[in-house]
């Protein structure tokens, strides 16, 4: 097996007790993420390879508010042979980290200055920010003696010191992945740019090894390493480049806002600026030119913005709503937010809300068209890509929750990247795959040629629940099987060795079966399995409704290409195998299969697994 540098990003979730500390409660506590989010708190490392996770901090309000900044030191005692490669993030190093060997173990001592606004709530709160973090990179050996298979974390703050040991379990990547051609297998990461040249080279070397071929953004140091490892940069710019101090968005209350969902008043931007002069276009062009010719944004409009008088006048001209009705609508919206349409059931409010969502969708679409036109004027051969929410016309309840039709924005892009985050478990996995199918259908019906490349969910920041490595695999393969041009894993900092090994497997499957998915014809009706489990399950949808998912334990696609048919069989059950009864025809033979066991009249697929069967007609 080839040897690759190991760049494990040690993530710490630090929690503080009250000040002064209670007798039975330490002043500080350190956790390793994602290990400490799991019940067994075990760190899973890939031998001689790398993983990335986030560093976050929590403290009681008394501590967090006692100063604008907090000094503390962290010492990591690592298994013998482990090498520290550096780190960076939201905390400021007070001095360069110092590594010493103590009893054969590397001890890395770091002194930090941590701003209080980087503390994510009190201990036990959900640490929901992905970027308020610190990342530490190390290179670990393949073999670790069981007695040394742990990481010790020691925290010092003023006169208080706490220590914790976390077990380490090593995993071996027996077969490397393959960077698939013609399909994107990417990461939407918040930590990979926190590298020096040494750790960037180590980490991108590992990502290449598991088959990753895309990161959404990169600084110059990371991009240099990415290029040498065949990884494309999505050229993402921060939403702040779109802002203009004179064109702040307006909330339903009439107050100005400047946040992630409304960095600028999109309605007035389109009216005031020529496309090439639109705020943000110059930055998009500069990033695309400096890297791989792609410019992208994460843009998530909302119905809770756009209330400038000019926009209101334009809305009232097109909508069958009186000024008095609109005033009542915006007052209710200001009070109840995105859940207003779920709480207020009067026909007048529902009509006004739907009209406003349609108006905001049109405004957002024109704004995106403005950005795209300005970008393409400078870079005719460049790609303009957009990451958006999951709500679209093919999923009306969710579209109403987010307040705009995300698919309406796709027409002006080269790729649309919707966030298909539907939670955890079989029913939500099934819904995710059905929504991918609906997106592909919607884009085709509107004759939109943009690539569909969804983001999929492993685990939200700070969440104790997650999709297992096998379930993540189902999401990734399911996106491609349903017609996506790729799939991107959101927030990979919460992945561990078990996930990375499955990503390598998925990359090989992308490479092996990708031509069926990209070029084949859907023939599901001809090969639909019989005698399958039925039933339904209700799942939660954003921002607070429920939806029924039919047949939540299985999924199926069939693609025909060059005389062969690929059947992709998804057993979404978490514990039991599932038999797929495949219709047979005379002269039909199995040319190849993977992940299935033959059974009379069909094929067995294991729990949380995906099976592949290639059929051909014998002459």
Residue 318 burial by Cβ neighbours in a 10 Å radius (0-12, 13-18, 19+): exposed
Distance separating the N- and C-terminal Cα atoms of the chain: 42
**pLDDT tens, residue by residue, 300-344:** 999 999 999 999 999 999 999 999 999 999 999 999 999 999 999
Q: Provide the 3-class DSSP secondary structure of residue 398.
A: helix
**pLDDT tens, residue by residue, 165-195:** 999 999 999 999 999 999 999 999 887 667 7
Residues contacting 363, CB < 8 A, separation 6+: 266, 267, 270, 301, 306, 311
**pLDDT tens, residue by residue, 505-558:** 999 999 999 999 999 999 999 999 999 999 999 999 999 999 999 999 999 999
**Among all chains, which residue has been given the structure tokens 């101090």?**
245
Q: In the prediction, which pLDDT does 611 show?
A: 98
Please answer whether residues 594 and 587 qualify as being in contact, where contact means their C-beta atoms are separated by less than 8 angstroms.
Answer: no
Q: Which structure tokens are listed for 38?
A: 């799991």
Report DSSP state, residue 558.
Answer: E
| Low pLDDT (below 70) residues in the chain | 1-27, 52-54, 192-193, 619
d(CA 376, CA 383): 8
Q: Count of residues for the chain?
A: 619
Q: In the prediction, which pLDDT does 53 show?
A: 65
Kindly report the number of other CB atoms within 10 A of residue 258's CB atom. 15
3-state SS, one letter per residue, for 352-383: HHHHHHHHHHHHHHHHHHHHHHHHHHHCCCCE
Pair type for strands 43-46 and 28-32: unpaired
Residue (of 391, 251, 250) closest to 333 by Cα position: 251
d(CA 557, CA 529): 10
Residues contacting 445, CB < 8 A, separation 6+: none
Pair type for strands 83-89 and 134-139: antiparallel
Q: Provide the 3-class DSSP secondary structure of residue 543.
A: coil
Q: Which structure tokens are listed for 23?
A: 């007798």
Q: Provide the 3-class DSSP secondary structure of residue 451.
A: strand
Burial 504-528 (b: 16+ CB within 10 A, else e): bbbbbbbbbbbbbbbebebbeeebe
Residue 596 burial by Cβ neighbours in a 10 Å radius (0-12, 13-18, 19+): buried
Please answer whether residues 214 and 232 qualify as being in contact, where contact means their C-beta atoms are separated by less than 8 angstroms.
Answer: yes
Please answer whether residues 113 and 91 qualify as being in contact, where contact means their C-beta atoms are separated by less than 8 angstroms.
Answer: yes
Q: Which structure tokens are listed for 503?
A: 């990503």
**Among all chains, which residue has been given the structure tokens 């999709």?**
467
What is the value of pTM for the model shown?
0.94
Residues contacting 345, CB < 8 A, separation 6+: none
């Amino acid at each position: 097996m080839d040897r690759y540098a190991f760049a494990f990003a040690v993530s710490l979730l630090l929690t503080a007790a009250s000040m002064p500390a209670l007798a039975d409660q330490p002043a500080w506590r350190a956790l390793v993420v994602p290990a400490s989010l799991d019940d067994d708190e075990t760190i899973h490392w890939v031998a001689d390879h790398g993983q990335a996770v986030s560093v976050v901090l929590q403290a009681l309000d008394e501590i967090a508010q006692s100063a604008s900044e907090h000094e503390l030191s962290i010492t990591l005692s690592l298994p013998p042979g482990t090498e520290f490669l550096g780190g960076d993030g939201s905390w400021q190093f007070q001095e360069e980290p110092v590594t010493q060997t103590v009893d054969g173990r590397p001890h890395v001592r770091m002194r930090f200055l941590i701003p209080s606004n980087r503390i994510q709530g009190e201990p036990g709160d959900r640490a929901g920010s992905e970027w308020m973090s610190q990342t530490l990179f190390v290179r670990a050996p393949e073999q670790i003696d069981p007695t040394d298979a742990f990481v010790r974390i020691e925290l010092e703050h003023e006169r208080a010191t706490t220590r914790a040991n976390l077990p380490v379990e090593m995993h071996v990547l027996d077969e490397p992945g393959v960077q698939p051609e013609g399909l994107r297998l990417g990461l939407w990461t918040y930590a990979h740019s926190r590298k020096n040249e040494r750790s960037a080279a180590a980490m991108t070397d590992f990502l290449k090894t598991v088959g990753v071929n895309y990161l959404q953004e990169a600084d110059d140091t990371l991009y240099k390493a990415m290029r040498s490892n065949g990884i494309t940069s999505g050229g993402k710019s921060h939403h702040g480049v779109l802002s203009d101090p004179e064109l702040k968005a307006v909330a339903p209350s009439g107050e100005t806002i400047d946040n992630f969902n409304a960095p600028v008043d999109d309605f007035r931007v389109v009216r005031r600026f020529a496309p090439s002069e639109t705020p943000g276009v110059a930055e998009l062009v500069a990033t695309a030119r400096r890297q791989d010719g792609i410019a992208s944004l994460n843009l998530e409009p909302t119905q809770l913005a756009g209330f400038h008088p000019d926009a209101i006048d334009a809305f009232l001209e097109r909508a069958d709503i009186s000024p008095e009705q609109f005033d009542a609508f915006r007052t209710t919206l200001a009070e109840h937010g995105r859940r207003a349409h779920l709480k207020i059931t009067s026909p007048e409010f529902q009509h006004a809300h739907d009209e406003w969502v349609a108006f905001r969708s049109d405004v957002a679409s024109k704004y995106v068209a403005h950005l795209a036109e300005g970008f393409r004027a400078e870079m005719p051969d460049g790609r303009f890509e957009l990451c958006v929410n999951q709500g679209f016309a093919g999923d009306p309840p969710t579209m109403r929750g987010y307040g705009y039709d995300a698919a309406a924005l796709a027409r002006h892009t080269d790729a649309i990247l919707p966030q298909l985050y539907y939670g955890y478990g079989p029913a939500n996995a099934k819904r995710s795959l059905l929504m991918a199918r609906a997106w592909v259908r919607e884009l085709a019906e509107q004759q939109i040629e943009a690539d569909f490349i969804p983001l999929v969910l492993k685990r939200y920041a700070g969440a104790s629940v997650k999709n297992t490595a096998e379930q993540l695999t189902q999401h990734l393969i399911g996106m491609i099987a349903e017609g996506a041009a790729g799939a991107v894993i959101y927030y990979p900092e919460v992945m561990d060795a078990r996930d990375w090994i499955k990503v390598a497997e998925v990359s090989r499957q992308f490479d092996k079966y990708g031509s069926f998915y990209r070029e084949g014809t859907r023939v599901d009706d001809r090969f639909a399995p019989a005698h399958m489990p039925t039933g339904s399950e209700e799942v939660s949808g954003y921002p607070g409704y429920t939806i029924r998912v039919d047949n939540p334990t299985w999924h199926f696609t069939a693609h025909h290409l060059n005389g062969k048919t690929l059947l992709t069989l998804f057993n979404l059950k978490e514990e039991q195998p599932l038999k797929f009864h495949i219709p047979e025809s005379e002269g039909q033979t199995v040319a190849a299969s993977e992940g299935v066991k033959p059974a009379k009249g069909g094929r067995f697929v294991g729990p949380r697994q995906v099976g592949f069967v290639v059929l051909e007609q014998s002459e």
